[in-house]
Structure 1
Amino acid sequence: MAKTLGSEKHKALISLLIKKREAAGLTQAQLADTLGEYQSFVARLESGQRRVDVIEFLELAKILSFDPFSVLRDLSQS
């Protein structure tokens, strides 16, 4: 299996998460606070320095109001 950090699908996921956060009107700090994390946690996610695990992804979907299943379906087809 190829490494995923920096892959096109990883970049697409990160781009989507940034767009969803911005559409929700949240700063990195506000999202981090909602997640119970530091702003640097969100910054590392959004810069592609760390992976998003499944549980984090589901929590982000809930907070940012998007359907995680449709996002995964779209990513798997790209």
Structure 2
Amino acid sequence: MEKSLYSADYLRFCEVLRRLRIERGLTQADVADRLDKPQSFVSKYEAGERRLDVAESRSIAQAIGTTLEAIAAELKW
């Protein structure tokens, strides 16, 4: 079984977060400021280097102006 951190589904999730951030005109630093985290936090989860839990994913969705439900709909899982 493939490691879930690097699974195609997880990397797709990271890509969606990145695309939505960019579509909203936000930089990684903007999102990091909203989350009270360093910019490297955003960089690492967008690159798939850091695994997000559900609570973090919800906070990130809010920081980029969306919801987990909207993100899940885009993933079409």
Shorter chain as denominator, the TM-score bin is: 0.7 to 0.9
Residue in structure 2 matched with residue 47 of structure 1 by the alignment: 47
Does 2:72 match 1:72?
yes
Aligned partners of 2:26 and 2:70: how far apart in 1?
22
- TM-superposed deviation, 1:42: 0.6
Deviation per CA, 1:36-74, whole angstroms, max 9, x where unpaired? 000111111111101111011111111222231243355
**2:40 counterpart letter in structure 1:** S
Mapped partners of 2:50, 2:15: distance in 1: 14
Aligned counterpart, 1:27: 27
Count matched residues: 77
Match of 2:13 in 1: 13
The amino acid of 1:38's aligned partner reads: P
> Judging changes above 3 Å, is the alpha-carbon distance between structure 1 residues 4 and 59 closer, same or farther for their aligned structure 2 residues?
same
Structure 1 residue 76: Cα displacement:
6.5
**Residues 19 and 73 of structure 1, relative CA distance in 2, 3 Å threshold:** closer
Q: Which residue of 1 aligns with 2:36?
A: 36
What is the CA-CA distance between 1:75 and the residue it aligns to? 4.0
1:61 corresponds to: 61
RMSD (CA atoms)? 1.8
Percent sequence identity over matched residues? 35
2:4 match: secondary structure? coil
